[in-house]
Amino acid sequence: MFIKKILVTLSVISFTISCTPINQNSDILNKNSLIKTNVVDSNNSSDVMKKLNDILNKSGKISDEDINISVYSSVANTVVGINSTIVEKGFFRQNVVKGSGSGVVVSKKGHILTNYHVVNNATKLQVVLSNKKAYTAKMLGGDENNDVALIKIEAPESEFAVATLGDSSKINIGQKVLAIGSPYGLSGTLTTGIISSLNRKLPTDDGQVLDGIIQTDAAINPGNSGGPLINSKGEIIGINTAIFSPNGGSVGIGFAIPINKIKDILKDVDI
C-alpha cells in the first residue's frame, strides 16, 4: 500500500496525510464546488445518548469506557475505508500506485464525505463498508481549498448507516473526542483524546492555508484521512485531515476540518 507522506514541509518536520491523491474523471464538478443542500440526511440522530442514559439508570454512573463503547457501537458502521488506484503513465511503462483513506456515510443514497486529497487524481475508487462489502465509487465533486470531497456508491439503502453531523461551534478545548478510521488499512480502528486547540491555521502544499482547524491529540495515522472526529454524543464534529509528525506516525498532534465549515460548503453547491 502506497502512502503519500508529505503534505507540507516545515524545516525538517512535516505534515503527513494519509493517502495518495486521486481523481475520477466522470461527473467532476468545479474544483471549488461540492454538493447540494439535500444530499445529507438531516433527520438522522445518534443513539449514543439513549445508550448512556440506559447505563446511568442501571448503574447510577457513566464511565469513560462506557462512552467509548457507546460511541463506537453507534458510529463505526457509518465509517468506510477508501482504496484508490492511480495509473501514472511514463514514457516506457505505466506505474500503478495504490493508496487508502477513510470516509463517513452522510446519506442513505450512498453519499460519502471524505478529504479531497484522498480522492484527487484517482483512476479507480473502491469503498469498503463496515460489513466488509466493497463497491466501486465515483467522485461527485470536491473543494480543494478546504480539502473536502464527496463520493458516491450505488448500493441498497439497507446497506447504509448514516452519521449524525454535530455543531462544531459548540466544541471546547479539553473536550473528549474520538476518531474512527482505517490507519494503515486497519479498518474500524478507534482512538480517543481531547480537543487540544481550536482555530489553527494549516498550510497546504499548494500554498493555501486551511483556517479554523481543530487540533486533537487523538491518534491519527496514515489512512485516517477523511474519517470522522466525533464528540461523546456520537456526533461528527470534524473530518480528520493531517498530522504534524517528524516520522510519519502519530505524535499526538492531529488536525480536523470543522464540520460546520463542511456544512457551509454543502449549502452553497448544486449538482
Give me 22's grid cell: 486521486
Name the one residue in this structure whose C-alpha cell is 439497507: 158
* Cα distances (angstroms) measured from residue 63 to each of 46, 55, 179, 229: 19, 9, 18, 20
Cα separation of the two ends of the chain? 33
45 is catalytic: no
Q: Which of 14, 46, 130, 147 is catalytic?
A: 147
158 is catalytic: no
Amino acid making up residue 75: V
Q: Which of 225, 232, 245, 250 is catalytic?
A: 225
Task: Enumerate the H helices of 60-205 as residue ranges.
Answer: 64-75, 116-119
Give me 259's grid cell: 464540520
217 is catalytic: no
Task: Please name the residues in contact with 57: beta carbons below 8 A apart, sequence gap of 6 or more.
Answer: none
Q: Which of 117, 143, 182, 250 is catalytic?
A: 117
Which amino acids are annotated catalytic?
A: 117, 147, 225
